[in-house]
Amino acid sequence: MVTRVFLTLLGGVFGLVASAGDTVPPQPNVIIIFVDDLGFGDVGFNGATGPRTPHLDRMAAEGRQFRDFYVGCAVCSGSRTALLTGTHYQRLSMNPVLFPNSNQGLHPDEITIADMLLEGGYATACIGKWHLGHLPPCLPTYQGFQSYYGIPYSNDMWIDPANTLAADVVFREGVTREDLLAGTTLKNRVPLMRNEEVIEYPVDQTTITKRYTEEAVRFIHEQKAGPFFLYLPHTMVHLPLAVSEAFEGRTGELIWDAIEEVDWSVGEVLDAVVEAGIRERTLVIFTSDNGAAVGSSLPLRAKKGSVYDGGIREPTVMWWPGQIPAGTVCHDVAASIDVLPTLAHLCGGRLPDRKIDGLDMWPLMRGEEGATSPHDTYCLMHGPGTVRSGRWKYYPWPEGDSDRNPQPDTAEWSAARVQLYDTVADIGETTNVAATHPEVVARLQAAWVAHNEELAANRRPTVDMIRPAGAAPPNRPGSVTTRKPLNWSKVAKGKAYDTQAAPNIVGKAFQVTCELAGNDLEGVVVAHGGTVTGYSLYVRDGQIVFALRRDSNDISRVAVPLPRGSTVTVRATATKGSLLLQTDRGDAVAAASSGLLLKHPSESLSVGFDERMPVDPEQPAAAFSGDIQKLRVAPVDAG
């Protein structure tokens, strides 16, 4: 096993770094439980009425709730980057979501919580979903963790044949070593790894929460002499949902069964800490990576993928008997980027020499009188972006179906083109009060502009992952993998085609032409790309929409009514400064665009659906309901 190891600093260099009056034990144990896709309204202490979460409710009663706690991204990889590095994922050039066919991952030069604590003599372990790179040098064992046990990305993905197989790897469901080495991949069939080797493929997902928990409890007892850092990022409750036999059918809803099993896991971890006799020197932090995908984000607005609060404001509890006041609630803004600098303070860690974005939130955690948020403004640039400051939540883009291009500067804005919500009076973000608070809008717009300018000027790179020579490519299951140019006369609805077979339209004007047939049409016609870049054509609420995502923060759209009845021909054209959309029975409609694609999408070209993360967060999730009789995408000068 290759493990990144640092020399332990002696003397006062790694002693307890604490302010006068602190009585925290030196080098406390740290456990971070990071659930996948758990919504604000999925836990009892936030009012859930479906799933029962007695162990989390107990944790809240014995610890401190954070009601305004934000994660660094509305989807997986960006959120994990922010938590572990204390840094906005955009600063580190990370994609919001990595896939088994991604080429880059978290740079090992970045300092993670595990790196920092390992340097100080902590035992470190990651048990669960990683999702920051599945090959060297991006695996957990290159990022400060002495051991790893888990699934390297989301459980709805597939395996990369480049991963090293353990000598005693267990193959299941009829899969053979020969199948895998030949490049056969299966959707929702993912590997279980220990350290840097695959030990089971495909993993039995019905057992995964239970097995993670058993590994975690074992680690706690083995390392109870401390200090230790346990990072427990659960695979559940991400789709596809699965539970062990003990939780199957408990509630009548699979999502609730899965939540209850995660709650059971929390109880087992807390009990292990108590049984090991280390409760007074162990900090446990519980939160989620983003909002609910299947469950509930109520009373917040929206869900996973959105920068409305339902996508990024998470159910959070911090537990440390004797240090964090029991049964208390914090309403000040804090964020996952604050965990690393806070642990540096509590554990005597050395902060990275390079810039990070988090701040010490220990005064909030311990409930100091007069403590306030360390963030005057908290900016989060996933998608179109948002700013939280005190009670205010600001969006420099308009609500609804109109153009989401953010306001360009601090001098020009209008109430019709931005959103402002009072999250105290209006937790569901239902009433836009931008028009009545122009001074707040101006201040937060200036913060948004300054944040973007600073991020753009100070980005750091990802790193290329290392693929063994001769390894089969990590093709998406069911994708057509030929690199020959697509034969548009043969493309079929329901198929995904390798991105390299799609036309290269980087920096080029291009046109999507299609013939659609059917009644009450709805859904995605074609999509090429995802949350980083790409384009999609879709039908929603009687309109056909052409969307172009130039980068993760820049989406342009144009829409026209879709005629009912017989076959309709649609032409969607992207030029340097505009999008143009027309049917054969209506006038052309144009909308402004900030430019053409800057890079070729890494995701497949999907026909009749969008296979992975949506190009446009406003597009329907459903596949196209009608027939696609013809389809072609080509540079405009290619005819």
Alpha carbons 63 and 455: distance in angstroms, whole number: 35
Alpha carbons 541 and 543: distance in angstroms, whole number: 6
Within 330-395, residue ranges assigned H as helices are 339-347, 362-365
User: Contacts from 446-455 at CB under 8 Å and sequence distance 24+?
Assistant: 446/410, 447/377, 447/379, 447/387, 447/389, 448/379, 448/385, 448/387, 448/394, 448/396, 448/406, 448/407, 449/409, 449/410, 451/377, 451/379, 451/381, 451/387, 452/381, 452/385, 455/88, 455/90, 455/91, 455/381
Within 383-482, residue ranges assigned H as helices are 438-457
The tokens describing 350, both together, are: 């050395």
131 assigned to active site:
yes
Closest CA to 99 of 140, 143, 181, 157: 157
221 assigned to active site:
no
The tokens describing 129, both together, are: 């979903």
Cβ 610 vs Cβ 601: under 8 Å: no
Task: Give whole-number Cα distances, 123 to 114, 278, 286, in Å.
Answer: 9, 15, 20
Catalytic residue among 76, 126, 347, 514: 76
Burial of 186 (0-12, 13-18, 19+ CB in 10 A): middle
Catalytic residue among 55, 107, 131, 238: 131
Q: What 8-state DSSP symbol labels residue 291?
A: S
SS3 state of residue 475: coil
List, by residue number, the catalytic residues. 76, 131
